[in-house]
Amino acid sequence: MERLQKVIANTGFTSRRKAEELIKNGKVKVNGKIVTELGTKVDASDLIEVENKVLEKTDRKYYFMLNKPRGYISSCEDEKNRKTIVDLIGIEARIYPVGRLDYDTTGLILLTNDGELTNILTHPKNEVPKTYIAKIEGNLTLEEFYRLKKGVVIENRKVTPEFIKIRKKSENSDIVEITIVEGRNHIVKKIFESVNHAVIKLKREKYGFLTLGNLESGEYRELSIKEVKKLYNYK
Ligand code: URA
DSSP the chain: -EEHHHHHHHTTSS-HHHHHHHHHTT-EEETTEE---TT-EE-TTS-EEETTEEPP------EEEEEEPTT-BSSS--TT---BGGGGS--SS--EESS---TT-EEEEEEES-HHHHHHHH-GGG---EEEEEEEEB---HHHHHHHHH-EEETTEEE--SEEEEEEE-SSEEEEEEEE----TTHHHHHHHTTT--EEEEEEEEETTEE-TTPPTT-EEEPPHHHHHHHHTT-
Give the lowest-confidence range in 38-47, 86-95, 188-197.
Answer: 86-95
From the number of C-beta atoms within 10 Å of its C-beta (0-12, 13-18, 19+), residue 129 rates as middle
pLDDT-derived band at 76 (thresholds 50, 70, 90) equals confident
pLDDT-derived band at 78 (thresholds 50, 70, 90) equals confident
Q: What is the pLDDT of residue 208?
A: 98
Does residue 142 have a pLDDT over 90?
yes
Backbone torsions φ then ψ of 126, nearest 5 degrees: -85, -10
Residue nearest atom 2 in ligand 1 by C-alpha distance: 186
Say if ligand 1 is within 6 A of residue 205 CB: no
Q: Which amino acid is at 11?
A: T
Q: What is the pLDDT of residue 59?
A: 66
Closest alpha carbon to 107 in 82, 139, 133: 133
13 C-alpha to ligand 1 centroid (Å): 25
Could you tell me if 166 and 175 are in contact, meaning their C-beta atoms sit under 8 angstroms apart? yes
Atom of ligand 1 nearest to the CA of 105: 6
Most confident among 40-49, 74-83, 131-140 (mean pLDDT) = 131-140
2 C-alpha to ligand 1 centroid (Å): 36
Report, in angstroms and rounded to the nearest whole number, the Rg of the chain calculated over CA atoms.
Answer: 20
Say if ligand 1 is within 6 A of residue 105 CB: yes
113 C-alpha to ligand 1 centroid (Å): 22
Question: Averaged over 2-7, what is the pLDDT?
Answer: 88
Say if ligand 1 is within 6 A of residue 154 CB: no
pLDDT exceeding 70 applies to what percent of the chain?
A: 98
Q: What is the pLDDT of residue 43?
A: 86
Give the lowest-confidence range in 15-19, 99-103, 182-186.
Answer: 15-19
Question: Which residue in the list 102, 104, 114, 174 is annotated as catalytic?
Answer: 102
Tell me the per-residue pLDDT of 54-69, one tens digit each, with 9 for 90 and over: 987 766 889 999 999 9
101 C-alpha to ligand 1 centroid (Å): 6
Average pLDDT, the chain: 93
32: left (phi over 0), alpha (psi -120 to 50) or beta: left
Does residue 125 have a pLDDT over 70?
yes
**Site to substitute for ligand 1 among 66, 100, 131, most atoms within 8 A of C-beta:** 100
Q: What is the pLDDT of residue 2?
A: 84
The yes-or-no answer on residue 102 being catalytic is yes
Does residue 13 have a pLDDT over 80?
no
Question: Averaged over 105-131, what is the pLDDT?
Answer: 96
Could you tell me if 176 and 165 are in contact, meaning their C-beta atoms sit under 8 angstroms apart? yes
